[in-house]
Structure 1
Amino acid sequence: MSTTDLAGTIPADTNRVGAIETRGIEPVPSTERTGGPGQLFWVWFAANISILGLPLGATLVALRGMNIWQALLVAAIGSFGSFALVGLISVAGKWGGAPSMTLSRAIFGPRGNHGPTVISWLSRVGWETVNTTTAAYALLALLDIAFGLTANPVLTVISLLAFVALTLVVSGLGHATLVWIQQWATYVFGALNIVVAAFLITRVDWHAVLDAPAAPLSVVIAGIGVIAAGTGIGWANAGADMARYQHRNVPGGRIVAAASAGAGIPLFLLIGLGGLLSAGDGTLASASDPVSAIQVMLPSWMAVPYLLAAFGGLLLSNNLSVYSAGLTMITLGIRTRRVVAVGLDIVLTLAGGIYFMLIAGNFYGPFITFISLLAVPITAWVAVFLADMLFRRDYDPRGLMDTTRTSAYWYHGGFRWSAVLPWLAGTVVGLLFLTASTSADDVWFSGPLADSWLGTNGLGWVAAFVVAGALYLLFGVRSARRSGTAGQRGDARPEADAEDRTAGTRR
């Protein structure tokens, strides 16, 4: 059975708070698109209020030698700017009413899209494992302080189960519940973050902050890249997942602004605070466990609200990540309901958490190194996707769901090589500048250009973005123009819904 047969079988109006969203990756009909930019603002705000934003700012000051004014500038450009890219991809979600990686079928072809989708899913599951494990450590510390319970294997598993169960409830119910929870939980955990941040400010060495010399301009430019790669770039492939319920008439600029401001505001404040804390003290920047490193700075009475804030912030981030991963899994061809895909994702995350907390020795170093490797092909995908948006205003809903030869997006055997090859080329070029290592003595991979300025400053992903985007503009658009309709009309077939096609031209 073609996946086309799945379209049109979803009961209407399942996107309600408290109800299980039964829609999977099928494009959302216009009648069910009632969302506004305010929803996206709170979704992205909630996903970025984690106290773990502090180490990013600490890295800028303690390891890269910036003064606080430079760190604040870098935080603003890196966070607001990178999430503007997330907002742009969210606009495509409004146009097509489908998740990001499903829309990607129109660009790469149903078979050519498998590569970017697998990478995207692995990255999502990877970060979910980091979130789950870190949150379990925070909960164990909280139980120790509040009830005197010493960590042991049973309590560790219970802590992991508690976190994934809370994630499953929100992500499993789906879009409407997630949007509602993200907004109201932000008030609670945001307030806790403010309380903790207010206390941490009293620990700032203001003399060291004000006397710090400025770093060279090249360091500032590299710092912007580091912040962008560590924040918005990692979320870009989830942009359309939340925007597919946006009303057709919502201006694209408001969607971009909602994502940029929603994530940028909390990130700017947290990164700035991390920079303040690290002036004259590099402990936080070099800590392998940032939750514990921050806890050491606090008296025991402040540790409880801090650990609650850390746990809650990680939970809000994980809600969105798991929801997106479930949709990505279905895009890969897993024939199951969305809620089941979310459940499978949770099981894998739980297994990973148990392994890393109870079996493996070193967790953060190797795992985050692996995820950093995946950032290069993800960035190349972002470049191709955004370049394609310059010449596309809608997507054929039938073509997106049909993965057989009858699909409007079948191209050449299911591959659109004018998109696949630029993505591969961008990935290869990005890896040339990359050094993947957990320490100076444990180097997994070092590209031949890793010692260049781009390489030493961790900007290989920029090279991947430029190469992939430029090659797609050169070859992909030319190919689309030869076909007559591919690039300009979304390769839409005549039988595509006329209303959706007309509405999709609105920005």
Structure 2
Amino acid sequence: MSKPSSSIFLSPSERSGKPKELFFIWFASNIGILGVVYGTMIVGFGLSFFQSLLAAMLGSLSFILVGLTSIAGKNTGANMLTLSRAAFGRKGNYFPTLMVWMSFVGWLAVNVITGTLTLLSLLNVWGLNTTSLLTVVSLFAFSLLVLLSNLFSQKVLVKAQTIFTYVFGLLTLLVIALLIPKTNWQALFQINNGDWLTSFLPAVSIIIAGTGIGWVGAGADYSRYQHPKTSSQSVVMSVTLGAFFPLFIIMSAGILMTTSVPSLGTADNPINVISQALPSWMTALYFLTALGGLIPQGILSLKSARTNLQTLDIHVKDSTAVFIHAIIIIALPVYVLFFSQNFLGDFQVFLGLVGIGLASWGATFLVDFALVRREFGYDEKLLSNKAEAINPAGLLSWLIGIAAGLAFTNTSFFTGPFARGIFEDSSLGVLLAFIVSGVVQAVLVNVQSSKSRGVESGKMAK
């Protein structure tokens, strides 16, 4: 691998991180109460208790995809979408970078919506009834908390995420401990198995879209601070387990709550509904815990979104970048909170559509990394502004995967021509997009390698 020698890569002095830092970053970013909503979504697919737990486990383990992309960041010291230029070309990378940026902005909006609903519920506990004015104030207050994280350096981020892990991780466990006794175990165990193909697989697919695939575009953004000699296996394990433990535990709590709070899966404000299963003395602490768990997710989403703007060659002042993101993460929640008023429905559509693009990008990147970059590395000329404009193999693999995923997807916006049978009203398009892009990329990379070997053989023969 060529040694890094430009601003594309972090300097050696900045790369002293240890794997445990990645564990805390990803643990803190997944202790949010949104995991409970995931749990109720799983049961909503008509799964039994055992199937629901299995789906939660597989969905949480999908963070291994983030762990694998993190290896590239550890090896080079470059961020995720800069590394992506090797697979797509400098200009070809604009399209997936824009898509990944939109996904992070979307996640920011989801965090702000959830944070706003949580803050409103907390204010209700303190005697303030929800009004349009109070909703607007809560929206601006939580947005400001997230935007202030723009001031965090990597060292401050690691310390903050470590604190969040211990404090809000323990508080979340306390909330779960209070909820478990309210579970109607008899009703839970009486739920029959759902169909493994038409119910279980779509449930796993939608959870993967919101967990591993949802964050796959950010892996190297944080692993690039790792020491270059850090074990790749340690990086993968730290990222995967850091996310797995909180995700699986909190999703499991959501699964259990479906018997004690049956309206959770259809509520306009699921955060408020959860509080109904808690003792009154715990309600305020629960909402504070939920807020604390949401902030780290917003911090990572904003940090990666801003990094992606720079990869798009959009260089603006910090204040301008913050203003751009502020407008978007306020406008989208305003639509959901005041016009759509269907948080869970909009959330599932968002996961499905964004998941298709991210799944295709992740598969293309990982196959390129496994078949090419692990052997030849990321030469600086592949990532700089002088790089090849378009890498046809990568861009074509990504687009074909997206086309395949959308063709088998049915949403409130459109219906794909093949969204029938097991694909109707399911999120299997996400898994299909991942598989198709990965296979196409593997084939095209091998074709390119064969042509290269043929050219070299011809030169040698002459």
Q: Is the contact between residue 126 and residue 371 of structure 1 (CA under 8 Å) also seen in structure 2?
A: no
Aligned to 1:85: 65
CA shift, 1:366, in A, is 4.0
| Counterpart pick for 1:27 among 9, 20, 25 | 9
Q: Decide which moves more: 414-423 or 170-179.
A: 170-179
How many Å separate the matches in 2 of 1:282 and 1:229?
Answer: 24
Aligned to 2:27: 45
| Counterpart pick for 2:162 among 156, 169, 183 | 183
| 2:404 pairs with 1:429 | yes
Q: Is the contact between residue 327 and residue 341 of structure 1 (CA under 8 Å) also seen in structure 2?
A: no
Q: Normalized against structure 1, the TM-score is what?
A: 0.82
Aligned to 1:135: 115
CA shift, 1:193, in A, is 1.2
How many Å separate the matches in 2 of 1:481 and 1:282?
Answer: 58
CA shift, 1:355, in A, is 4.9
How many Å separate the matches in 1 of 2:267 and 2:136?
Answer: 24
Superposition CA RMSD, Å: 2.3
| 2:445 pairs with 1:462 | no
Q: Is the contact between residue 129 and residue 350 of structure 1 (CA under 8 Å) also seen in structure 2?
A: yes
* Amino acid paired to 2:407: L
Describe the SS at the equivalent of 1:87. Answer: helix
| 2:228 pairs with 1:248 | yes
Aligned to 1:334: 314
Q: Is the contact between residue 261 and residue 277 of structure 2 (CA under 8 Å) also seen in structure 1?
A: no
Distance change >3 Å, CA 455–CA 477, structure 1 → 2 = farther
Q: Decide which moves more: 296-305 or 108-117.
A: 296-305
* Amino acid paired to 1:386: L
* Amino acid paired to 2:438: G
Unpaired stretches in structure 1, ≥5 consecutive residues? 1-5, 9-25, 438-443, 485-507
Q: Normalized against structure 2, the TM-score is what?
A: 0.90
How many Å separate the matches in 2 of 1:98 and 1:339?
Answer: 24
* Amino acid paired to 2:378: Y
Q: Decide which moves more: 156-165 or 263-272.
A: 156-165
How many Å separate the matches in 1 of 2:201 and 2:91?
Answer: 37
- Say which structure is richer in helix: 2
Distance change >3 Å, CA 281–CA 354, structure 1 → 2 = closer
Describe the SS at the equivalent of 2:63. Answer: helix
How many Å separate the matches in 1 of 2:160 and 2:259?
Answer: 36
Q: Is the contact between residue 76 and residue 228 of structure 2 (CA under 8 Å) also seen in structure 1?
A: no
CA shift, 1:354, in A, is 4.2
Aligned to 1:445: 414
* Amino acid paired to 1:415: I
CA shift, 1:401, in A, is 3.1
Q: Is the contact between residue 22 and residue 235 of structure 2 (CA under 8 Å) also seen in structure 1?
A: yes
* Amino acid paired to 1:430: G
Aligned to 1:260: 240
CA-to-aligned-CA distance 1:36-69 (integer Å, 9 cap, x gap): 11111111111110112112222323x2232222
Q: Give matches, 1:308-323, under 5 Å.
A: 308-323=288-303
Seq. identity, %:
38
* Amino acid paired to 2:264: L
CA-to-aligned-CA distance 1:85-123 (integer Å, 9 cap, x gap): 110001111122111111111110111111111111111
CA-to-aligned-CA distance 1:146-201 (integer Å, 9 cap, x gap): 2x233445443332333223223333323221111011122221222122111111
Q: Is the contact between residue 58 and residue 278 of structure 1 (CA under 8 Å) also seen in structure 2?
A: yes
Q: Is the contact between residue 31 and residue 247 of structure 2 (CA under 8 Å) also seen in structure 1?
A: yes
Residue-pair matches, total: 444
Unpaired stretches in structure 2, ≥5 consecutive residues? 454-462
* Amino acid paired to 1:436: T
How many Å separate the matches in 2 of 1:125 and 1:382?
Answer: 18
Distance change >3 Å, CA 206–CA 367, structure 1 → 2 = closer
Distance change >3 Å, CA 455–CA 334, structure 1 → 2 = same
CA-to-aligned-CA distance 1:242-267 (integer Å, 9 cap, x gap): 11111111111111111111111011
Aligned to 1:55: 37
Describe the SS at the equivalent of 2:411. Answer: strand
